[in-house]
């Protein structure tokens, strides 16, 4: 029995027909990847399946009692709820109870109020009666893996961190059917690999939309394509789909050519002279009208984007030279004794976890940030185009044309004047779409607007920080091809493993403690060359959190109640301190930070120093309590 079945479903927004009499079935244990061009209706289909949007026509059947969790592409609105509340909310009806216990435990850590002690004992009993300890552990593991600050309010998080929180909410609920819309956006490689492992072990139904081809190849057992309003099913993996799709398009092209030839012949007959019209029969005339209508209704395949850089001419042979660069944040080294020579034509990828200092290094190499030690030299005639991870925001109420043209009717690309409408057509925006508001575009279409604006700038050094988010497969592959043929120099930050493999010729890898090593080749080449990883200190709280919290309430009877609670809460407390430390370090590494009010700068630096001291104290106390528990 399927989990969900769609029969003859149709949806249209204005003149755009997204689903046209389409059918779909999803069964348990299937891992289906939904693919299609930006704006064709993938997110709309997910919302219909999740019962958050009703179709214009057709039937949607869901298995009785089916539990569905949806991670939307959009971001949640501002809220005073904490990240713990958001994630635990995916475990209803126990989510509220878990949140109450978490908040009470945090208050109890600050003061030994008799009322709070009584309340936490009551909550403990309720949790134990409903197997709540296992669910608490699941929430905390999810928070740790996604590096989420549990007690931070949602309104205080950036867009990327809000998305992480909503991903945690979807994953923690372990539903019958999991719907994920671009789940890897804003995740680093370690988090993506963890997510991949979780989804491989997932026993429910999974329908996901992604631009990450490595994730797609490892996960998908079936491909569903949404193309021109129709859903087509392709059993097997992504590579098999590519082969069969190419063959299907070839057959479709031959069929269309044959049809068009027949239509042209009938049109010639219809336009013949008096003699021919006297002998024609009405049946043939009706057949011609039917052919015309069939041709009018035929939806052509959307063409490919035609991407082209605005070349600024050759830079000097030496683009960037750095010797022994150092950049510390308080006592934490982000960049330590780093040296590199970047020559014209190099294509270099930067690999490292979120918060490791990749953006800081880019700003140092571009001269936007002054190193605390070392020497930097930029080559001659270097012109930079920077695709920032914190994209310059689009003005949503303005049109695509207004966002890109900025008042111009003509854009000069490599010495040739191109009308703005024609230029936007290269990025698959029709004249009507180009004049429409950006607010109506999908996430991938908005990213194409940003690329169109970037490509209009003359450059011979491209700095791309996560350029692939939300792009469809075809545009992503075209961007790859363009970068491979690019004669300038490229610095690329990406968590897309396949994209790194296909584009870069060497990688700078952040290996901890400010050490950055260079490896020849892409991501897969680095995996083969890297030394055996040593145990990471930061992983210690996570493993202890898995062991100590459930045991503290059952097996450590000779510890006092207060010590039991302290031991159970310390791993989470350490994670919160580290999350805050990482966030502040990232803020301080931004080139605009030191332009702020001196008092604000001083307060943040002092807070970082206190965090380091608090972390050291917390680790010592944790070690003491663990030894005490082991002794009893």
Q: What is the mean pLDDT of the chain?
A: 79
**How many degrees, rounded to 5, is the angle at CA 71 between CA 69 and CA 73?**
155
CATH number at residue 470: 3.40.50.300
One domain, residues 387 and 448: yes
Q: Is residue 466 situated within a structural domain?
A: yes
> Could you tell me if 621 and 570 are in contact, meaning their C-beta atoms sit under 8 angstroms apart?
yes
Q: Which residues, in sequence order, are CB contacts of 461 under 8 Å at separation 6+?
A: 315, 319, 382, 383, 384, 385, 488, 489, 490, 491
Q: What pLDDT sits at residue 535?
A: 45
Number of folded domains that form the chain:
3
At 380, is the secondary structure helix, strand, or coil?
coil
- Measured CA to CA, the distance from residue 249 to residue 55 in angstroms comes to 29
Which among 121, 148, 172 is the end of a domain?
172
The pLDDT tens digits of the residues spanning 206-251 come to: 999 998 888 999 999 999 999 888 898 988 888 888 888 777 777 7
Residue 63: band (very low, low, confident or very high) from pLDDT cuts 50, 70, 90: very high
Based on the fold, state whether residues 545 and 520 are members of the same structural domain.
no
pLDDT attached to residue 23:
93
pLDDT number for residue 227: 86
Q: Are 348 and 507 in contact (CB under 8 A)?
A: yes
Long-range contacts, 102-105 (Cβ 8 Å, 24+): 102/136, 102/150, 105/565, 105/568, 105/569
Question: Are 440 and 575 part of one and the same domain?
Answer: no
**Closest listed residue to residue 363, CA positions, set 327, 309, 311, 318:** 327
The reply to whether 492 falls in a domain is yes
Lowest mean pLDDT among 105-119, 445-459, 496-510: 105-119
Confidence at residue 555, expressed as pLDDT on a 0 to 100 scale: 35
Looking at residue 560, its pLDDT comes to 65
Query: Prior bond to 93 cis, omega within 30?
Result: yes
State residue 537's pLDDT score.
41
Strand order in the sheet with 347-351: 384-387, 461-465, 489-493, 347-351, 506-510, 516-520
**DSSP symbols for 429-463:** --HHHHHSBGGGS-HHHHHHHHHHHHHTSEESEEE
Least confident of 81-85, 578-582, 623-627: 623-627
The neighbour count for residue 131, using CB atoms within 10 Å, is 10
Provide φ and ψ at 587, rounded to 5°.
-60, -45
Which band of pLDDT confidence, cut at 50, 70 and 90, is reported for residue 456?
confident
pLDDT single digits (tens) 388-434 = 754 556 788 888 888 888 777 888 777 788 888 888 888 878 888 88
Please write the tens of the pLDDT for every residue from 14-34: 777 889 899 999 998 899 999
Task: Compute the average pLDDT of residues 114-143.
Answer: 77
518 and 603, same domain (yes or no) = no
Q: Are residues 506 and 553 in the same domain?
A: no
Whole-prediction pTM: 0.65
Q: Fill in the DSSP letter of residue 80.
A: S
- What is the rounded average pLDDT of the residues 568-574? 80
Least confident of 220-229, 313-322, 360-369, 389-398: 389-398
Q: Per-residue pLDDT tens for 245-277?
A: 777 777 777 777 777 777 677 666 666 654 455
Q: What is the domain extent for residue 502? A: 310-529
| Of 523, 470, 519, residue with least CA distance to 500 | 523
Looking at the structure, do residues 323 and 464 belong to the same domain, yes or no?
yes
**CATH number of the domain to which 613 belongs:** 1.10.287.380
Q: Decide: 455 and 418 in contact? Cβ < 8 Å.
A: no
Same domain (yes/no): 575, 521: no
Same domain, yes or no: 437 and 568: no
Q: At what angle do helices 473-485 and 443-455 cross, to 10 degrees?
A: 20
Q: What is the rounded distance in angstroms from the CA atom of residue 370 to the CA atom of residue 616? A: 30
Claim to verify: residue 591 and residue 447 sit in the same structural domain:
no
Radius of gyration of the chain (CA): 29
Whether 305 is covered by a domain: the verdict is: no
């Amino acid at each position: 029995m399927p989990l969900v079945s769609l029969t003859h479903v149709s949806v249209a927004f204005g003149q755009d027909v997204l689903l046209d009499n389409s059918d779909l079935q999803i069964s348990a244990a299937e891992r289906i990847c939904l693919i299609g061009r930006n704006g064709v209706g993938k997110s709309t289909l997910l919302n219909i399946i999740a019962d958050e949007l009703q179709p214009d026509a057709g039937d949607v059947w869901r298995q009785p009692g089916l539990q569905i969790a949806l991670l939307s592409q959009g971001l949640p609105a501002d809220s005073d709820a904490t990240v713990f509340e958001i994630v635990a909310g995916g475990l209803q009806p126990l989510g509220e109870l878990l949140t109450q216990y978490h908040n009470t435990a945090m208050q109890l850590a600050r003061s030994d109020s008799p009322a709070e002690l009584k309340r936490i004992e009551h909550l403990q009993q309720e949790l134990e009666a409903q197997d709540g300890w296992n669910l608490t552990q699941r929430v905390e593991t999810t928070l740790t893996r996604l590096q989420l600050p549990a007690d931070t309010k949602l309104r205080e998080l950036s867009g990327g961190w809000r998305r992480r929180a909503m991903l945690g909410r979807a994953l923690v609920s372990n539903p019958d059917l999991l719907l994920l819309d671009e789940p890897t956006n804003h995740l680093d490689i370690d988090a993506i690999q963890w997510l991949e492992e979780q989804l491989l072990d997932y026993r429910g139904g999974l329908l996901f939309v992604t631009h990450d081809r490595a994730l797609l190849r490892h996960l998908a057992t079936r491909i569903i394509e949404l193309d021109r309003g129709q859903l087509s099913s392709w059993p097997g993996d992504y590579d098999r789909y590519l082969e069969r799709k190419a063959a299907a398009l070839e057959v479709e092209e031959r069929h269309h050519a044959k049809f068009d030839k027949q239509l042209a012949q009938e049109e010639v007959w219809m336009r013949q002279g008096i003699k021919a019209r006297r002998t024609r029969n009405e049946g043939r005339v009706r057949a011609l009208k039917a052919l015309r209508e069939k041709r009018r209704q035929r939806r052509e395949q959307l063409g490919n984007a035609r991407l082209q850089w605005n070349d600024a001419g050759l830079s000097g042979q030496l683009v960037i030279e750095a010797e022994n660069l150092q950049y510390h944040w308080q006592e934490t080294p982000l960049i330590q004794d780093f040296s590199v020579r970047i020559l014209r034509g190099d294509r270099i990828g930067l690999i490292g976890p979120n918060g490791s200092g990749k953006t800081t290094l880019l700003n140092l190499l571009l001269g936007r940030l002054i190193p605390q030690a070392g020497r930097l030299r930029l080559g001659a005639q270097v012109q930079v185009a920077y695709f920032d991870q914190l994209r310059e925001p689009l003005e949503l109420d303005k049109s695509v044309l207004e966002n890109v043209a900025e008042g111009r009717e003509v854009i000069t690309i490599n010495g040739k004047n191109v009308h703005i409408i024609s230029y936007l057509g290269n990025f698959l925006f029709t004249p009507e779409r180009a004049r429409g508001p950006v607010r109506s575009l999908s996430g991938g279409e908005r990213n194409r607007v940003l690329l169109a604006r970037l490509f209009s700038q003359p450059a011979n050094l491209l700095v791309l920080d996560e350029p692939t988010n939300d792009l469809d497969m075809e545009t992503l592959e075209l961007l790859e091809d363009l970068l491979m043929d690019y004669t300038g120099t490229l610095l690329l930050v990406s968590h897309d493993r396949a994209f790194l493999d296909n584009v870069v010729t060497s990688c700078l890898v952040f290996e901890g403690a400010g050490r950055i090593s260079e490896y020849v080749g892409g991501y897969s080449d680095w995996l083969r060359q890297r030394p055996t990883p040593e145990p990471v200190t930061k992983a210690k709280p996570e493993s202890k959190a898995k062991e100590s919290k459930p045991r503290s309430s059952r097996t450590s009877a000779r510890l006092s109640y207060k010590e039991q609670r302290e031991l159970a809460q310390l791993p989470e407390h350490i994670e919160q301190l580290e999350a805050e430390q990482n966030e502040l370090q990232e803020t301080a590494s931004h080139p605009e930070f030191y332009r702020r009010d001196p008092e604000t700068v001083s307060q943040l630096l002092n807070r970082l120093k206190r965090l380091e001291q608090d972390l050291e104290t917390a680790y010592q106390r944790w070690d003491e309590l663990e030894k005490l528990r082991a002794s009893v």
